[in-house]
Structure 1
Amino acid sequence: MDATTRRGRDRSRLARTQLTRSLVAATALAMVVTGCSSSSSTSGASAPQSAVPKLNAEDINPQPVSALKQGGVFRSWLQQWIDQWNPYQVDGTYGDSQEIMKMVEPLLFRIDASGTFQPVPEFLQSAKVVSSSPQVVLYTLNPKAHWSDGKPLSYLDFKAVWQADNGSNPAYNSANTTGYNQISDVSQGDDPTQVKVTFSTPFADWQSLFYPLLPAAGISTPDAFNKGWIDNIPITGGAFKLGAQDKSAQTITVVPDPNWWGDKPVLDKFTYQVLALPAVTQAFLNNEVDVASAGTADSYGQLKADPNAVIRTAGPWDEVHISFGSNGAMADQTVRQALGKAIDRTALIKVVSQGVPVTFPELGNHIFMTNQAGYQDNSGQWGKFDPAAAKQLLTQAGWQDAGAGKPRTKDGQQLELHFVLSQGSPQATDDMATAVQSMLAQVGVKLDVDKVPANDYDEKYINAGKFDLATWRNTGSFPPSEAIPNYQEPSGDNVYENYSKLSTPEIDSLLKQAASTLDPVAAAKIYNQADAEIWALGQSLEIYQRPSVVAYRKGLANYGASGLADIDYTKVGWQK
């Protein structure tokens, strides 16, 4: 099942995508295998290996550049048109856009297959913690690194990102203040290539910040930060740049930047076409795209039989959940708790996994994946299917039983809720919504499934909190602090990435405390305390860790099921 994806940094992270919704990277993921990992990186390059997350190895057909054809095109697809390109802005958490931004802007670190942050030498010569009290990180930049306007990378760019994202000025509509709100100063080091970042409180995941780096010239005012990246990338600083955007044709191209100071990219072009998810399989079979999700029985069967396809798999940070809204009847925590008990998660997994020969692990945690160190099932009573208890909670909330087959009522109003789906959703998502509709009917809840235009789904519904129930994927939320904006308390009109707008001061405090704890074992304990509170709040119902199964055109090298790793797009190409 391919639900809409948020943040990628995949999370991600900029689709490590997110949402925060990455299909550029998320379609490059695959089935989860059992493995041992740990939660987060510690404060420097000398971090013990036991503190580094280790999920399944990547499956990207690794090849030396000498074995590849110089030139050529890789054809991918997008779930929807990209309006906001700024990955730090609240409307810029769409994973596809964030993944492209990792191609065109400076990526200081690239995560390898073991989950380790590795400096990217074209931008960063070194980065290390030089003081622990207070925590001070010293970055040494590559003196060749520069922006497309000719200015060298400098501390001014780091400072601009920090000032826009630390939450001190609400005019900057930032998606995520985590980490940035713990920085007290950004200044130049001994020379213009050095950047000194000082933290007011320890931040374990400091390597996840400034990812990617954006130019001070493009984000130094709230207006530039919020509006300057709409339908536009004003300044770039990577190996690639935007070639063309055709909103009518719904196509975007990314091409090598001739001013790039590193190794020349192998490919001549990356192309992206907006396609509804159900159309992607046929587009692959028609030789129109070079990648397609094979995560449903129908798509898997068709793509596996294609002689030009190869199925690649790996273990990502990738989850599917049902988010609960906070309006009307859903403002009542007891109602949300009742819905969690009325929904049979095991049955939903059977619905979406039918015909796909891969295990879909049921997920009991909002922050850690099942094969990630620190994981424990915190769902408790709130994730347990118990229709009788659900009925009791609804009655307790004042919604009275109106008889078999009829919606419950309160003050003359029926208990009628809306499950919002994109018209571009695949059949598996539709089937899941229909199953939920049937489950809720059994406890006296009328659920309408509303399918809305794909290009409106994010902006007009999810980002606006206009839903009672909705489903999407959060991808690449690694390291753990990357998940914080999904659950932190909104600040005024800024909901960060908590589109349900549901949190508590206790959850907020625990998440911030965990992010400030350098010991990964101790941090995981606090994250799990927060997760238990998220379950009890009824903010969202985790369903499963998504075992992506993806088809790629034969001959594609250095790209595919990347697990936790970032793709080096300069090395993507076709074998000779």
Structure 2
Amino acid sequence: MRRSTVTAVAAALVASLAVAGCGAQDGEGPAPKKQAAVKADGSNINAHPLSDIKQGGQLKIGIQQWITQYNGNTPDGSQGDADDIIRLVMPVLFNTDAKGVASANPNFLTSAKVSQADPQVVEYELHPKAKWSTGTPLGWKDFEAQWKALNGTNPAYEASDTAGYDQISKVEKGAGEHSVKVTFKAPYADWQRLFSPLYPASHTSTPEQFNKGWQEKVPVSGSAFKVKDYDKTAQTVTAVPDPNWWGQKPKLDSIVYRALDPSAYTEAYLNKEIDSTSALAPENYKRLVKDASTEIRRGARWDEVHITLNGARGPLKDVKVRNAVQAAIDRKGITDSFSKDLTFELPPLDNHFFMPNQEGYKANAGEYGTFDLARAKKLLDEAGWKDAGEGKPRTKDGKELTLSYTLSGGGASSEQDQAELVQQMLGQAGIKVEIKKVPANDYFNEFVTAGNFDLVSFRFVDQLFRSDAFGNYRQPQGKNLYGNYGSVSSPKLEELLTRAGRTSNRTEAVKLYNEADAEIWKLGHSIELYQRPQITAVRKGLANFGAEGLASRDYTKTGWLK
């Protein structure tokens, strides 16, 4: 399953060293011994057979904002909470196991394989009962419409990611009634990430349908659940089982998504308003672990925390200024502040494509990820920003060197702490940072995905296929930023990523992605901080749900134990 390049809320950061904390500093004794990091295939979902689960009940899930776009192939639709709802109600053609290995979802595919190598041909055999909520069977026309919208040939389609689709030469009906044949003009190793989720041709065949037809609603669904109600006043979206579903009947009667400020999650959980929440931050963990109705579940998700630098405007247009920002930020200091009270190891993250617990990981940050205040000052000198004295911002052509750091107004206080740490660090180099809080519901759509920031911190998650990340680093075209919200790229980087995506030899592909990663650091695209652990508080008795790690979540199996 391709769990798409999704953006999630800004990184949660525990209080900085200057803030009164917990552990040994608050009289509770020495800090606990650190546990090893979770293995790459680590997960805990309280797995149970369906026979153990009662029929009925409701699952309540918190989301970080009201969803304004349900087309996950657009920049606004790639937000993490939207992605979860989309994958609940739309056909997901491939699932992944705990090691992140993809396989055909039998609810939608009876088979999917590469039937020819040169040119590469992939043949899909659709489940004969699979159909849209309109009653129309899933078919090759749906594949064709999705390819045409996402292959990059028509800029009127606001596509967030064209990787893979741009290498297809033809989509046509296969030999059988439910067959689809996709021919590639160049090999594409990650073909299983394409067409998943699948969207209906009836609502994606024109730019107008693609861009605007999924705003604040799902007009056509095609899975075990469908959206029953959108209550903007209550900020809830309610999904229920679709009676026309052809597969295993879901156990739950309904799933309710409720938009909440991230800072309110722990309280809402303890008040039983939602049934799961992150237990990562120590101040939240200490409250949640004591709750008698709670289990803490732990997994190893593909989940990275970073700071994006906007190279499309202001001082950060200059790569030397971006490199100076990299050198002035003490990544270890931020990570140490985050992890000082955690009970497990938090290794540094020096790669944009692989997590430290994954095969293929290589530390590529080098000097661009090393805290070196003297080098930062030297780079700023070379960029023409004159030192105005200790504690004062540098100047150039009569202007102060000032950057904004954009925060969600609904975020936790810990997010403010991270921003203030960055503000202090950059201030030592003569870079003034103004922290800018914006409304939570506007944070992504109006600021992050619109490229309306200088510095911003958020997460990319679930990039189980390396080419999932292509849109994050490609050169934007006009107003379409894809996933590269800071607009930092280069022809060399695009060429490396294109070659890697076309390479079926895993060893060679890993080599190319690591070369691309070194280029990303050199360009000053973003500053990787750490792999965010998956520590989740889940209501006791809830089965087949929690810390899935790299595995797909199957809501048809989620439910309450008898």
Smaller-chain TM-score range? over 0.9
The aligned amino acid for 1:176 is: D
Report if the CA contact (8 A) 2:9-2:458 is conserved: no
| Alpha-carbon separation, structure 1, partners of 2:436 and 2:107 | 47
More displaced stretch, 99-108 vs 348-357? 348-357
Residue 299 of structure 2 aligns to a residue in which SS? coil
Residue 164 of structure 1 aligns to a residue in which SS? helix
Residue 415 of structure 2 aligns to a residue in which SS? helix
Partner residue in 2 for 1:201: 186
Alignment of 1:233-272 (within 5 A): 233-272=218-257
Structure 1 residue 478, shift from structure 2 partner: 1.4
Cα 1:32–1:518 change in 2 (3 A) is farther
The aligned amino acid for 1:212 is: P
Kindly indicate whether residue 122 of structure 2 is the aligned counterpart of residue 137 of structure 1: yes
| Alpha-carbon separation, structure 2, partners of 1:422 and 1:134 | 47
Alignment of 1:414-433 (within 5 A): 414-433=400-419
Per-residue CA deviations over 1:510-568 (Å, capped at 9, x if unaligned) read 10110000011100100111110100000100000111211000011001111111111
Per-residue CA deviations over 1:364-393 (Å, capped at 9, x if unaligned) read 011111111111011010000000100000
Alignment of 1:45-444 (within 5 A): 55-326=40-311, 327-444=313-430
Structure 1 residue 98, shift from structure 2 partner: 1.0
The aligned amino acid for 1:33 is: A
| Alpha-carbon separation, structure 2, partners of 1:220 and 1:192 | 21
| Alpha-carbon separation, structure 2, partners of 1:379 and 1:558 | 38
Per-residue CA deviations over 1:274-300 (Å, capped at 9, x if unaligned) read 111111101111111110111111101
Report if the CA contact (8 A) 1:296-1:354 is conserved: no
Structure 1 residue 56, shift from structure 2 partner: 2.1
Structure 1 residue 426, shift from structure 2 partner: 1.7
Partner residue in 2 for 1:18: 5
Report if the CA contact (8 A) 1:17-1:94 is conserved: no
Report if the CA contact (8 A) 1:297-1:354 is conserved: no
Report if the CA contact (8 A) 2:38-2:299 is conserved: no
Partner residue in 2 for 1:575: 561
From 467, 488, 493, the counterpart of 1:507: 493
The aligned amino acid for 1:163 is: K
Cα 1:233–1:22 change in 2 (3 A) is farther
Report if the CA contact (8 A) 2:94-2:102 is conserved: yes
Report if the CA contact (8 A) 1:32-1:56 is conserved: no
C-alpha RMSD of matched pairs (Å): 1.3
Partner residue in 1 for 2:532: 546
Report if the CA contact (8 A) 1:22-1:94 is conserved: no
| Alpha-carbon separation, structure 1, partners of 2:265 and 2:87 | 24
Structure 1 residue 32, shift from structure 2 partner: 8.2
Report if the CA contact (8 A) 2:122-2:181 is conserved: yes
Partner residue in 2 for 1:33: 37
Report if the CA contact (8 A) 2:402-2:434 is conserved: yes
Report if the CA contact (8 A) 1:85-1:230 is conserved: yes
| Alpha-carbon separation, structure 2, partners of 1:34 and 1:364 | 18
Partner residue in 2 for 1:3: none
| Alpha-carbon separation, structure 2, partners of 1:377 and 1:150 | 51
The aligned amino acid for 1:200 is: K
Count, aligned residues: 537
Report if the CA contact (8 A) 1:88-1:176 is conserved: yes
The aligned amino acid for 1:380 is: G
| Alpha-carbon separation, structure 2, partners of 1:18 and 1:365 | 16
| Alpha-carbon separation, structure 1, partners of 2:550 and 2:209 | 32
The aligned amino acid for 1:359 is: E
| Alpha-carbon separation, structure 1, partners of 2:70 and 2:445 | 14
The aligned amino acid for 1:459 is: N
Structure 1 residue 358, shift from structure 2 partner: 2.4
The aligned amino acid for 2:180 is: V
Structure 1 residue 17, shift from structure 2 partner: 4.5
Per-residue CA deviations over 1:264-323 (Å, capped at 9, x if unaligned) read 100000011111111110111111111011111110100011111100001110000000
Structure 1 residue 428, shift from structure 2 partner: 2.1
Partner residue in 2 for 1:516: 502
| Alpha-carbon separation, structure 2, partners of 1:95 and 1:248 | 21
| Alpha-carbon separation, structure 2, partners of 1:459 and 1:94 | 9
Structure 1 residue 221, shift from structure 2 partner: 0.4
Per-residue CA deviations over 1:78-121 (Å, capped at 9, x if unaligned) read 00110000011121101111111111111111111121212111
Residue 483 of structure 2 aligns to a residue in which SS? coil
More displaced stretch, 381-390 vs 89-98? 89-98
Structure 1 residue 34, shift from structure 2 partner: 5.5
| Alpha-carbon separation, structure 2, partners of 1:400 and 1:20 | 36
| Alpha-carbon separation, structure 1, partners of 2:352 and 2:502 | 19
Structure 1 residue 22, shift from structure 2 partner: 8.3
Cα 1:426–1:358 change in 2 (3 A) is farther
Kindly indicate whether residue 473 of structure 2 is the aligned counterpart of residue 469 of structure 1: no
Structure 1 residue 192, shift from structure 2 partner: 1.9
Residue 411 of structure 2 aligns to a residue in which SS? coil
| TM-score for both structures, normalised by structure 2 | 0.94
Structure 1 residue 354, shift from structure 2 partner: 3.4
Report if the CA contact (8 A) 2:37-2:346 is conserved: no
Structure 1 residue 363, shift from structure 2 partner: 0.5
Report if the CA contact (8 A) 2:534-2:549 is conserved: no
The aligned amino acid for 1:295 is: L
Report if the CA contact (8 A) 1:361-1:546 is conserved: no
Cα 1:177–1:285 change in 2 (3 A) is same
| Alpha-carbon separation, structure 2, partners of 1:424 and 1:364 | 29
The percent of aligned pairs where both chains have the same amino acid is 49
Cα 1:32–1:460 change in 2 (3 A) is farther
Report if the CA contact (8 A) 1:32-1:315 is conserved: no
| Alpha-carbon separation, structure 1, partners of 2:449 and 2:72 | 15
| Alpha-carbon separation, structure 1, partners of 2:36 and 2:72 | 27
Per-residue CA deviations over 1:24-81 (Å, capped at 9, x if unaligned) read xxxxxxx98364xxxxxxxxxxxxxxxxxxx223210111111011000011110011
The aligned amino acid for 1:397 is: A
Partner residue in 2 for 1:564: 550
Per-residue CA deviations over 1:208-254 (Å, capped at 9, x if unaligned) read 11111110001000000000000111111100000111111111111
Residue 153 of structure 2 aligns to a residue in which SS? coil
Structure 1 residue 492, shift from structure 2 partner: 2.0
| Alpha-carbon separation, structure 2, partners of 1:302 and 1:272 | 23
Report if the CA contact (8 A) 2:37-2:344 is conserved: no
The aligned amino acid for 1:183 is: I
Report if the CA contact (8 A) 2:226-2:242 is conserved: yes
Structure 1 unaligned blocks of 5 or more:
1-8, 24-30, 36-54
Structure 2 unaligned blocks of 5 or more:
11-34
Structure 1 residue 133, shift from structure 2 partner: 0.3
